[in-house]
Amino acid sequence: MKQLALFLTLILITFNIFALELSIEKAKELALQNNNSLLSAREAFNISTISKKRAYLNLIPSGNLSGNVSSSEPKPMMMGVDSSDLEDVNISVNASLSQPIFNGGKIWLGAKIQTDTEKITENQFKQTKISLLNEIESKYFQCLKLASQKENAELDLKASQKQSKISKLKFENNLISKADYLKSQTAESNKNIALIQLQNAYNISILDLQNSIGIFQDINLQKINSAKITIEAKKYLSIISNDKISNELLKIGIEENPTYRISKISQNINKKSLLMSYGNFLPTLNLSYSKNWNETIDPDNNYDESSTIALSTSFPIFPIIDNVLGVSEKKHNLKKSEYELKSMESNLNLGIKSALQNLILSAQTIKSTKLSKDLATETYKQMEERYKNNLVSLTDLMDTQVMYFNSLNQHSNSIYSFLEAKNNLKFQVGLENFNKIENIIFNKREKK
């Protein structure tokens, strides 16, 4: 039996040695390398860059070179002369250049629209990246929160097991009733079930994190320093009025938030599309040049060449109604995009204000739960001693134990809620790190 236990211990140690030590920064770095959605968004941006270059190439002249070689059937006998072995061979070469002079601005506006399209795909790539980083941080914090709850559940189970042993001794010495003894056994069983459920939830969250990162080896997460986070949260307690901070963050969000930027660029595209629709009423003007060389290889050896310069124009006549409806459609699209942009700005403002308020509230919650945990810890220690000395009932001790471990979980949850609030505010503004936001928050605070 000892050999089996030693063997299992060695296996656990081996797995722990080869497990990947994964900090939150390392997790984000691996996700950026492996996430298929992000890689796909990057390729979409590369495609739009190529399309933009092709659109601008339409502004330069286009040229073609063509050639043809043909031979005729042998000639029949003529005037008593046998010419059956003579063939006519014709060689022709044509070179042409064409340059659009004016076509209602469609080529130029089309190229500018393609430039805006490139900016949209660039912001879509940024949005995918920020969303991925936000997702990784959220899942990483979720794993740590469940790990903390699991540790508390293990301590809770050990405390219940200790109480069960004490209750058994008291029951055997007729110091407590059988009902109280069974109550302690039931509590121990329930705590064991809770621990199993938390272990399962933790394992699933680890798998979810691994899948998002794109790795499938065992990982060890880097624990956070709760005391350091508690100290950091105290800085946010002095923030009372956050309107100026929200307005400052909104300005950054308008510049940085990719979703808002996409709406703004889409409005610009609709403006250019409206101008293009007006171009359907204008004439087009094209310049072309062609040169042709032609030679016939026969007894006469005929050769000629010619060149042509042409300036062509066309005026749209029909269907006028279709062009008018096209302009009307583009106007409505532009109005629609303007309303969407206003709505987007309103939602961005609301999202930033809510996220900032949630951050301040979560900092206040840390302070409250820390106080509650300290008080519950002292109360629980006293109740344990009093129970050993038969001064309180088992029910009183169990009630205090529930209060104590609830306070541990509440404080732990408040720590991760604070980190999630920072993560959400960063996501709302559209930034990859929190430094710029923190500078704005505390600069505003210092000016008060």
The string of pLDDT tens digits covering residues 380-432 is: 999 988 888 888 888 888 889 899 999 999 999 999 999 999 999 999 999 99
**Can you give the pLDDT at residue 176?**
80
Neighbours of 7 (CB within 10 A): 10
**Can you give the pLDDT at residue 61?**
86
Residue ranges of the chain with per-residue pLDDT less than 70: 1-18, 72-87, 240-241, 298-303, 444-448
**Can you give the pLDDT at residue 14?**
46
**Residue of 144, 162, 149 lying closest to 380 (CA atoms):** 162
Q: Which CATH number fits domain 30-71+87-282+289-447: 3.40.50.10490, 1.10.10.10, 1.20.1600.10, 3.40.50.300?
A: 1.20.1600.10
**In the chain, what's the furthest Cα-to-Cα distance?**
146
**Can you give the pLDDT at residue 233?**
92
**Can you give the pLDDT at residue 348?**
95
Is-contact 96 307, C-beta < 8 A?
no
Measured distance CA(134)–CA(247) in Å, rounded: 23
**Can you give the pLDDT at residue 75?**
56
Whether the pTM exceeds 0.85: the reply is no
**Can you give the pLDDT at residue 86?**
54
Strands 20-22, 219-221: pairing kind:
parallel
Can you say whether residue 23 is alpha, beta or left, with left for phi > 0 and alpha for psi between -120 and 50 degrees? beta
CB-count exposure of residue 291 (10 Å: 0-12, 13-18, 19+)? middle
Measured distance CA(267)–CA(344) in Å, rounded: 12
**Can you give the pLDDT at residue 12?**
47
Q: Domain coordinates of the chain in residue numbers?
A: 30-71+87-282+289-447
- Residue 402's alpha-carbon distances to 163, 172, 194, 264, in angstroms, are 13, 26, 13, 53
**Can you give the pLDDT at residue 217?**
87
**Can you give the pLDDT at residue 195?**
93
First to last CA, the chain: 69
In the block, which residue shows the tokens 């933790």? 202
**Can you give the pLDDT at residue 87?**
62
**Can you give the pLDDT at residue 377?**
92
- Residue 264's alpha-carbon distances to 172, 346, 372, in angstroms, are 78, 13, 48
